Amino acid sequence: MIAVKTKDDFIIYTLEGVLTGTEHIDVPTSGLDNKKIQLVGQNVDSWNTDFVITLFNALKHIPQENITYSKLPKGMEQLLRLAFQAPYKEQEIPPKKLPFLERIGELGILFCRSVKKGATFICECLSSWGRQLIGNAVYRSKDFWMILADCGPKSILIVSLISFMVGLILAFVGAIQLKTFGAQIYVASLVTIGMTRIMGAIMTGVIMAGRTGASYAATIGTMQVNEELDALQTMGISRTDFLVLPRMNALLLCMPILILLSDFMGIVGGCFVCVLFWDIPLSEYIKYAVNSFYLTNFLVGVFHGIVFGLIIALCGCYFGVNCGRNADSVGTATTNAVVYAIVWMIVMTGILTAVCEGLGV
């Protein structure tokens, strides 16, 4: 039970009996500037932390120096003193708004720091490759084979399914237009050139960014939260050698093989549409597909895939290594790894396409 009375400049709360946190605590809404709160214990039989929380929520607006304690149970008084040590803030003070030019300057500084940080990470990765060539890189071959199995064989099913559907869609879209000219047979050429030149590489890259790039960022980010990266640094082991290098090697090795599979499944998807929906003989589809298969297109697609694999590995490992120290940071790092990987893949696709066009490839 809680009894409230006012005496001079004091509001006295007398606590007695069994205190469970279900009590209603009356607090004046005005005139508290010159008032002091006194908490008095009187024949308190029992209490629990729910009551302390209720009491704190009722008096949290009162400054600590205005609250005094008398004859309270020792544990209750300690909890209340600890609770009132930090001043209560109704709302956070909004950050100071900087002038326009200062905001532009801050953004420029942040951009330069990000570029420097990214360039430093890329240089560290190149140094790790150099140490691997001379046999000085420190990482376990067991880790490499486990990572290779994860980003290679375990990706076959999803890459095959998505590539099959992309080839099917290309065939449907192409056939609708070519049908007006009675040239549905050239759907085989359209699908073959499109998949081997660029679509196989792009779809494989997007799948691997969402699957493997996110996995890299989450795995290394969790190691950062658990302070395992600090442990590696304490032991004198390069984090880039031990964590980043095997992941880059595994992804670069898997990408050409997955692209070959993607090209094949895309062509099979186009064949499925042409044979079943457009009544094109299977032999004719195979003939036009083989005639449209150029080694140059295939090698361009594989080169795109290797570049995409490097981008995915760098983005995933970079955001994992630079992850924060809490669970939310791991989620942010995973999201950034996927988003940045896909954005940079699209950017590099435009650059490489322009270069290939300029070289006449």
pLDDT tens sequence across 117-147: 889 989 988 898 888 888 888 888 888 899 8
Is the pLDDT at 166 greater than 80? The verdict is yes
Mean pLDDT of the chain: 84
Give 358's pLDDT tier (boundaries 50, 70, 90): confident
Of all residues in the chain, the percent with pLDDT exceeding 90 is 24
Specify the 3-state DSSP secondary structure of 313.
helix
Q: How far apart are CA 188 and CA 346, in angstroms?
A: 26
Q: How large is the average pLDDT for residues 244-249? A: 90
Mean pLDDT of 165-169: 90
User: Is pLDDT at 33 greater than 60 in this prediction?
Assistant: no
User: Within 13 Å of residue 116, how many CA atoms lie on the same side as its CB?
Assistant: 6
Q: pLDDT band at residue 240, thresholds of 50, 70 and 90?
A: confident
Q: 228: buried, middle or exposed (CB in 10 Å: 19+, 13-18, 0-12)?
A: middle
65-69, 193-197, 259-263: which has the minimum mean pLDDT? Answer: 65-69
61 DSSP 8-state letter: T
Residue 292 vs residues 277, 300, 302: alpha-carbon distances, Å: 21, 15, 17
39-43, 54-58, 62-66, 176-180 — which one is most confidently predicted on average? 176-180
pTM: 0.71
Q: Which two tokens stand for residue 215?
A: 């996995």
pLDDT at residue 30 tops 60: no
Residues 327, 225 contacting (CB under 8 angstroms): yes
Backbone φ and ψ of 32, nearest 5°: -90, -5
Residue whose C-alpha is closest to residue 212's, from 259, 154, 141: 154
Each residue of 48-106: pLDDT tens digit? Answer: 777 777 777 777 777 677 777 777 777 777 777 777 776 555 555 666 777 888 889 88
pLDDT in tens, 147-161: 898 888 888 999 999
| Better pLDDT: 135 or 169 | 169
Query: How do the domains of the chain map onto residue ranges?
Result: 2-85, 121-359
Q: What is the DSSP letter of 180?
A: G
Q: 2-85 in CATH: which number?
A: 3.30.750
Position 311 scores a pLDDT of 92
pLDDT on residue 308: 93
Which token pair is 285? 């589809």
The answer to whether 79 and 71 have CB atoms below 8 angstroms apart is no
Banded model confidence at residue 1, pLDDT cuts 50, 70, 90: low
Query: Is the predicted pLDDT of residue 192 greater than 70, yes or no?
Result: yes
Band the pLDDT of 276: cuts 50, 70, 90: confident
Q: Which residues are CB-contacts of 259 (< 8 A; sequence separation ≥ 6)?
A: 200, 201, 204, 301, 302, 305
Read off the pLDDT band of 42 (50, 70, 90). confident
What does the alpha-carbon distance between residue 20 and residue 287 come to, in Å, rounded to a whole number? 84
- Name the more confident of 198 and 137: 198
Phi then psi for residue 247, to 5 deg, are -70, -40
CB contact at 8 A, 273 and 172: yes
The confidence band for 258, taking pLDDT boundaries of 50, 70 and 90, is very high
Beta bridge partners of 46: 18
Alpha helices in the chain (DSSP H): 49-59, 74-85, 100-133, 141-151, 156-178, 187-194, 200-208, 214-225, 228-234, 239, 245-277, 282-291, 295-321, 327-359
Would the pLDDT of 27 be above 80? no
Q: Read out DSSP for 274-286?
A: HHHHS---HHHHH
Residue 39 pLDDT level (bands cut at 50, 70, 90): confident
| Alpha carbon distance 62, 158 (integer Å) | 60
| pLDDT band with cut points at 50, 70 and 90 for residue 28 | low
SS3 133: helix
Q: Residue 292 — very low, low, confident or very high, per pLDDT cuts 50/70/90? A: confident
Which range, of 75-84, 328-337, 352-361, averages the lowest pLDDT?
A: 75-84
Two tokens, residue 126 = 């190149």
The pLDDT of 28-44, averaged and rounded, is 67
Over range 230-250, report the average pLDDT: 87
